[in-house]
Every structure is written in C-alpha cells, then in structure tokens.
Amino acid sequence: MDVSIETIERLVHELYHNSNQLSQSSANQYLTCLQVSTQAWDVVSALLNPNKPLEVQYFGASTLYTKVTKCYHELDPQKQLDLKNELIQLLVSYLSLDGMRIVETRIVVSLAAYVIHSVANNWENAITDLVNVLQPNKLSHIPVNRVLQTLMDLLSAIPEEFQTIYMTQHQKIVIRSALLKFNEQIFSIVLTLLSEPQLPEEIKLSTIKCFSNWSQNTGPLIIGDNHSDIVLLVLRSVCDDNLSQTAVEAITNIYSHPEMHKQPNLVLRLIDQMVGLEPTLNKAIQESNPEMANNIYTLFIQVTETHSRLVLNALIDTPESRDNILKAIAVILQCSSTPGYHSIDETCSEQAFNFWYTLQDDIIASDESRIETYLAIFNPLFHSLIDAFLVKVQYPSDDVYENEWNSYDRESFRCYRQDIGDSFMYCYNILRVSMLSSLLSHFQLAANQLTARVSTDQHKSWQYLEAVLHAFSSIAENVGHSETAYLQQLFSSLPNIPFNYVSSPRLLATAMETLAAYAEWISNNSSYLPNVLSLLMIGLKAHEYVVVSATMALKDITRECQLILKPFAQQILSICDQSLGPESHLKPKDKSRIMCSIGLTLSVLPIEDIMIAINKLLTPIITDIHNVLNQCERESSNIDNETVRTHVSSQLSMLAMLFSTLDVNVKRNDSEDESQMVSNSKAYNSSPQPIYIILEQVLPIFNSIGTKWPTDETITESLCECIKKSVITLLDEIKPLVGKILELLLYLFKTSGQTSVLEISKQLIVLFGKDLDLQNDLNKYFVEICNHTMSCCQTDLRQQTSLLEVFYSVLANVVKRVPLLFSSTSLDVSTLFRCAMSALLLPEKPTVRYSSAFISEFVILSREVEAMNKVVNEEIENLLGQVFVVIGGTYDSPRCVVEHMADILMALNWKYFDNLSRSINSLVQKEGFPTNHVNYEKKSHFVRLILTQRKNKRKLKEVINEFSLTCRGLIGNEYSNQMIKLPF
C-alpha cells in the first residue's frame, strides 16, 4: 500500500472536494484501508502538521483515534510509552492554535482511549498526571478557559471510551478498578468548577457531563462524598436555558441507573429539591418557553417513573415526603394537561403516558393492605387525569383538521389518541366503577349540550361527546360482561343522539367503534340489539369514513352475538341487502365485511331460509361476473383493463368471506331460553352445507375466470382464497368437488406459477392424502405440481427463490404427514432432492430454511422408501459438501442461514451414521475446503463434535456456529466473541 503523505493528501482532497462519486468512493476505500494498516502509525505525525489543510489534519486525528482504540496491541511497550508523550504534546500544541477545535476533539478522545489501555498497567497515575499537565498556571500562554474546557472534555471522554472500547470481561474488571481510584479526585474538580459563579457555560456543560459519565458510565453506580452538593448545583443549572437539557440528562441518567434503588434517601431528597423547580416551570409556561418546560417535565417524569415503587412506599412509610411526592405527581398531571393539540401546539404531554402506566401497574401489584390507601390517595388524581384526557383527545373542527393539518399531523394525532385510549384503560384499572360513573356523567352532559345546540340551531360542537365515546370504547376490554348499571344507561341513550344533525362524520364513526368494542357485552344483553342495529343502519348509510367503522362494528357484533341472532336475522339481512344494493357506495373491503356478517347471520337459520336468502344474494353477484366475462368475450381489451380485473377480484373476495363464515354446523340450541347455547364445535348434519351447493354452482365460473386471467396474481390469489375458505368450512364434505378443484389449481399453477396455488395444495393434500378414493387424483396432481416447479427452476434458481420457499415448505409438510405420495414411481424424487440441495446456497433465509426442513424430513423418511434411500446414498457426499459450503460461507452464504444446517446433519447422524462418517471424513481431506481459514486439525475436531452430538440440537448449533466463524476468518474478534455465546 502506498502510504506517502502526498498520496494521502491527494485522496483526502478528492474525498472532500471532488464531486465525482466514483473518485470519492475509491478515495474512501483506500483511506479506510490505510487507517487499519500497520503503516498508519508512521504517517499520523506528518498528517497532524499544523501547516497541512484542515481536512488532512482531521483525517490524521481520526486515524490516530482508530489506531489507539482498535490497534493498540500492534505497539511494543516502548512505542506505547512514546505514544503517550506524543499524544500529550499534540494536545498541548493544538491548544495554542485557533480554529482547530474539530482536530483537538479527536486528539482528546484518542488520549482518553490511551488512558483506558494503559491505566491498569504502565500508567497507573494517568488521571492525576493529566490533571497536573492541564493546569492553567502551567500553560500560561493558553487562555485559562481553553485549558479548563479541554481538561473537562478529556475527563468526560474517559468513561465514554471505557464503554465503547472492546475488552474481555477480565480486562473490564481490572481497568474499572484502576479508574475507580480517581473518582473522588474527579468529583472534587467538578464541585470546584460548578461552584464558580462566573464559569463559562461551555465549561459548565462539559463539567456536568463529566459528573454524569463518572457517576454511571464505568459500570457500578458511583456515589461520591460530594454527590449531593454536586446534584444541587446541577439542579440549579436546569433553570438556565443553555444548560437545562444537559443538566436534566445528567440527573436522569444517574438516577435511572439500575443500582440507584439502593439509595432511596437520595431519590427522595432529589424529589424534594425538584419541587423547588415549580416556579421556573410556571414562568416557562407563562413566557411560552416550551423547551424549558419540556426539560423540567422530563426530569419529573423520568425520576418518578424510574422509582415509582419507592414513591408509593414512601407515601405510607415516610409521611414527611408525602406532600412533595404528590406535588411531583401533580406536575406530571400538569404535563398531561398541557393546553393545545399535541404535535401542533405542544409536544411534551405524550412524555407522561408511560408514567401513568407504571404507576397504576405498581399500585395494582402492591400488597392488599396498601392498595386501599393508594386508591384513596390517587382516586381524585386519576379522575382529574380523565378530565384532562377528555380535553386532549378532542378533534379540532373538520375545517382545521382537513385543511390546515397535513398528513403527518393527522397521523401523529391519531397515534396520540390511541395512547390516550390506552391510558383510559389504565385509569379504569384503578377507578373501576367510579370511572364508569364519571364517564356516564360526562356523556349525559355532552349529549345534553349537543341536543340543546341542535334544537336552537346553534353551532353544533360534537367533539366533547366524541371524546367521551372514545373513552368508553377504550375501556371496553376491561369492563365485565355483567356490568349493567352504567352501560345500560349508555346504550339506552345512544339512539337519542341526533347524529343526523351533526355535519362531521367523526362522532358517528366513534359511535360505531363503541358498538364494536362492546359486541361481547351486547351478546350478554340482547335486549339492546335492536337499538344497536338501528344505529348500524344509520352508520352504513353515512359518509364513507363512517361506513368503514360501521361495517367493522356489524362484523364484530354478528360474530360475538351469532348464537342469539335468529330473532334479528331478517333485520340484519335487510340491512346488509340494502348496503349491497345497486345504489351502494361501499368499497370492496366494506362489502367483504358485509358478506362476513351475512354468512354469520345465515348460519343460525334453517336451511330453507338460507337457500332463499343465498339465491337472492348470489344472483346479482353471479350475474355481474357473467356480464363481465361476456363483455370480455366481446371486447378482448377488457381483459387487460385494470378496473375490470379489480372488480372481479373484489367479487371473489366477497364470496371468499361468505365461504369462511356460512357454516350451518354452528347452531344455537332450539330451547326457548336464548341464553342456553350449544358449543361452537362441529356437529354432524345430514343435509349438505349451503357452501357446498354454492361452490358446486360457482366452480364453472371460477374456471372461466381462471381461463381469462390466469397470470393475474390478485385474481389467482382471490380464487385460491375462495377454495381455501371452502375447504376450512366443509372439510371432508368437500370431497366430491376435489377432482374439479385440482383441475383448476393445476391449470392456474402451470399457467402462472403462483405460490398461492401451492398453499391451498398443501391443505388439500394433507386433508385427503390418505383417502383411497382420491389417492390417484392427488398423486397425479402432486407429481404434476412437482414437475412443473422443477421445470421453472431449471434455468436460474436465484430468480425462483420465492417459489422455492413456498414449494419446499409444502413438501416438508407433505413428506412428514403424507409420506405415501413419495412412494410413487412417477415422482422424480432425485430431482426434488438435488434442487433442494442447490437451494441451500441461495442467500434468502426462508428459502434455505424450508429447503433444509425438506431435506431433513426426506432423510428421516428415506429408510422406509427404496427410491428415497437410493437418492440419499447417492447424494450424501454432495449434500455434505453443500452443507460445508454454507457453513464456511464459500459462496457468500449469509451467517443467518448456517443454523439450519444443524437439521440436516442431525437427520443424517440419526439415519445414516456410517455413511455420514465415511463421507464427512473424505471432505476433511480436501485441502482449503471449505475455506483456507480451517486446517485439517480444525476440521477433524469439528467432525468429531458433529458425530457425537446426535440428540442435542442446541449444542450442535453452537458447534456449527463456532466452526462457521472460524471458516469465515471471524474467530477471535469482538463479533465472534458475542456470537458464539448466543443460545440458538
């Protein structure tokens, strides 16, 4: 490597000043290689000549840092000592120069890294020596503040370098012990500087950072003799705009340390002192200083959240701390109540969400003897929090929301509302019934206000009522099904809300979400179902924004209330029929959800009623599809029309949803008592399932659609989804139609090669693979699928990795559950096996995973099938060669796929131990295989370990992983030391 100073200067200039990306990339590659080369030590001094361009000096300083941190071991003891003197001289010389701060900083961290390497052996007084060197009175030619700034930067950097430089656990312990001797000296300097009233802010920032780093970045938490005095000074710095953020970070970092719980008195003392920041906080709010307010809120939240258990205990055990603790929590409540819309007017209120969760979680987890006291203390606080959230969660006017807010603002507010919804649930965990009472009072007030404004034709403010409904829906999951006192009043009042007179769709959409949230409660209170259905009818006819929520609500309610739907079935079907009518403005997904509700509702009706409804329902759909197909016959251009294809796909999706939910084997009891329900389990039914009749009717249509659009991935997936849902619903009852289904699937697969066909194929093969009546058809189908897949993979395997992933996931399942299919003489098992071996070298982890799974299952079964046994015996050495290539990374196989080779080796070890021993030993003899990083001894050791690990897959994976690192030349570095410890 050319390491001449001229070459380096030229390349640095190209890197920073040449606009040609190729030249920049080439220069960057060369310079990066230079930094890790041993020659770099020889050029650093020349590069750091003050007469050189600034970018050259900066590169020299960066190279110096790289060498000290990562290549310190390259120096002999004398050169290490020389390096110390050179670093100190460099630092002092740069202190005399102006405009070189960027270079000086790199020299500072280089010297800090040197301290980490040397403090435990050949420079035991490193910190003291450096403090003595950087004394203003000894460097009188340099401004005092410049010297003090550099000293504090250097002291701050030492703990940071301790955290970042890689070292063994033993080295870490020894170096930490050497550093801890200087703690009191460091803290004494910090206290002295922070006590100086005229100390420049930049030095204060470095001093505060130094205090934080030495307190908690060397491992254990360090509480020095001066700790409390320093914390008080740092706390005062919180009130300074320029120091505030750094001061807060220092305190929160120290007081969030895992060992801080051992210092409860210090934590409580800090909370007492923090309360003194309230005047500063109030002033910041009055003067519209959000940065300062945010910093103070952060301090209160982080400290109290980290020590919430201590705070709770202190409320009872330390009465003298109660007032200040409650004041601190009141500050956090104030944070949650910050006026304005989050992300638009303020950004601090979201900080408190996790605190409220932690607080309620710790209260609930407390001893029973204490919970009652906590509930009495916090009941008013949580009610105040609810009131605050009911304000914060409210939407702005639609005009502002749609026209003034951008998409990012709206999405941020949506997430914020979701977080408030979660917080409502936490509040309910504490307040229980009293929260329902409070929300009902809010609901009645909001509803009355809205109704009054509607009757007087005033501006109709709907946001308050919408916020209350949002709160009700947020806690639905935790409200018991037997609750009646408050929810009955809510559901009795909902129909009285004048939704039709509110222009905004958001109130009605949230009402729909509330109905969906309480679907299970409604199933236990069926008398409210008529009111609910009436509201749903309003929602389905409303704005498209509401329709999404309405169809979701109808779907949830029909699913949860299915066994009590019979008395309301005609009303529901009428609602759905109107929604799907010619005038419908529903989108395809909305229609699919409607179809789900139809299927669930029809399932509880007598078969005669079902068929009448189905004929009425399906006739328009089938007619529509026929019309589209006929139109495509007349005008071939429509086949490629995206609108036509999307329409056909949406119609198929509707059918798929019907197939998945219409199941007459899910019945309610014929008893007059609606509350007595039978199990949801399948029951024998002598009548054919309606889905069978429908599927038999539409299969010819499916064939026509498949013929028209065989290569359209979306349509193919929709067809397969219809078949899949039918199979899940009908199970054995679909058997008479399996032959026709297989013909359609085979045509689709041969035409398009879509993986969705393989997924449904797995279902059918596993379900009917052992059925004697279907054995021939399935066998032929399976052979055709395998042959076509192999023909697709003959040219470029890398282009078929997605297909291979699904194909071998199917085969791994089939070989395990329907091994009979692999006994067929017409199946070319040899080609399947070899293709799976080739797929092991692909870079995609899922493909390698399923190929490995197939091979291992194939090997396990092969002893029972002669053709498979022959393949394994013929290919075992090639297979092992592929496995070694993957493990060694010979052809750039990624590390993430190596673990899957354990499945193959374990299967061979179990079923072909002798063959494995012979074949693997022959591979060991190959020189330079799988890579030059492993010699004969290492390979022999690896083989011995493999042959002994016949049952412990976890241990085998560890062995393979370590050998893989060795093969790739990674053993012995930081990455490998971390990786070989990982349990798989």
What are the Cα distances from residue 202, in Å, to 76, 197, 207, 483?
38, 13, 9, 61
* pLDDT for 684 beyond 60: no
* pLDDT for 203 beyond 50: yes
* pLDDT for 680 beyond 80: no
* pLDDT for 149 beyond 60: yes
Q: What SS3 state is found at 931?
A: coil
pLDDT number for residue 52: 93
* Average of per-residue pLDDT across 862-878: 93
pLDDT band (50, 70, 90) for residue 459: low
Q: Which residues contact 197 (CB under 8 A, 6 or more apart)?
A: none
pLDDT number for residue 482: 85
pLDDT digit string, tens, across residues 562-613: 999 999 999 999 999 988 887 778 899 999 999 999 999 999 999 999 999 9
Q: Which residues of 941-968 are buried (b: 16+ CB within 10 A; e: fewer)?
A: ebbebbeebeeeeeebbbbbbbbbbbbb
Mean per-residue pLDDT of the chain: 91
pLDDT number for residue 453: 82
pLDDT number for residue 981: 40
pLDDT number for residue 582: 78
pLDDT number for residue 667: 46
pLDDT digit string, tens, across residues 306-340: 999 999 999 999 999 999 999 999 999 999 999 99
Could you tell me if 338 and 348 are in contact, meaning their C-beta atoms sit under 8 angstroms apart? yes
End-to-end CA separation in angstroms for the chain: 41
pLDDT number for residue 637: 67
What's the rounded Cα separation, in Å, for the pair 821 and 827?
8
* pLDDT for 984 beyond 50: no
pLDDT number for residue 464: 96
pLDDT number for residue 970: 77
Closest C-alpha to 946, from 888, 896, 906, 904 = 906
**Is 291 or 677 the better-scoring residue by pLDDT?**
291
* pLDDT for 359 beyond 70: yes
pLDDT number for residue 166: 87
pLDDT band (50, 70, 90) for residue 525: very high
pLDDT band (50, 70, 90) for residue 460: low
What's the whole-model pTM score?
0.85
pLDDT digit string, tens, across residues 803-831: 999 999 999 999 999 999 998 889 999 99
pLDDT band (50, 70, 90) for residue 870: very high
DSSP string, 327-387: HHHHHHHHHHT-SS-BTTTBSSGGGGHHHHHHHHHHHHTS-HHHHHHHHHHHHHHHHHHHH
* pLDDT for 674 beyond 80: no
Closest C-alpha to 100, from 44, 150, 32, 144 = 150
What are the Cα distances from residue 736, in Å, to 655, 712, 732?
20, 28, 9
* pLDDT for 284 beyond 90: yes
* pLDDT for 22 beyond 90: no
* Average of per-residue pLDDT across 873-883: 94
pLDDT band (50, 70, 90) for residue 687: low
Q: Which two tokens stand for residue 652?
A: 């198929």
In the chain, where the domains are located: 483-603, 606-633+642-664+690-753
The crossing angle, in degrees rounded to 10, of helices 953-967 and 936-948 is 170
Of 40-54, 101-115, 962-976, give the lowest mean pLDDT range.
Answer: 962-976
pLDDT band (50, 70, 90) for residue 481: confident
Could you tell me if 3 and 45 are in contact, meaning their C-beta atoms sit under 8 angstroms apart? no
Q: Which residues contact 884 (CB under 8 A, 6 or more apart)?
A: 890, 923, 929, 930
pLDDT number for residue 668: 39
State what percent of residues in the chain have pLDDT above 90.
76
* pLDDT for 669 beyond 50: no
* pLDDT for 678 beyond 70: no
* pLDDT for 903 beyond 70: yes
Q: Which residues contact 450 (CB under 8 A, 6 or more apart)?
A: 460, 461, 462, 464, 465, 497, 498, 502
pLDDT number for residue 910: 92
243-248 long-range CB contacts below 8 Å, 24 or more apart? 243/201, 243/204, 243/205, 243/208, 244/291, 244/292, 244/295, 244/296, 245/291, 245/295, 246/205, 246/208, 246/209, 247/208, 248/295, 248/296, 248/298, 248/299
pLDDT number for residue 752: 86
pLDDT number for residue 949: 79
pLDDT number for residue 681: 34
pLDDT number for residue 2: 64
Q: Which single residue is written with the structure tokens 């990786």?
A: 979
* Average of per-residue pLDDT across 937-952: 88
State what percent of residues in the chain have pLDDT above 70.
95
Max Cα separation, the chain? 104
* pLDDT for 673 beyond 80: no
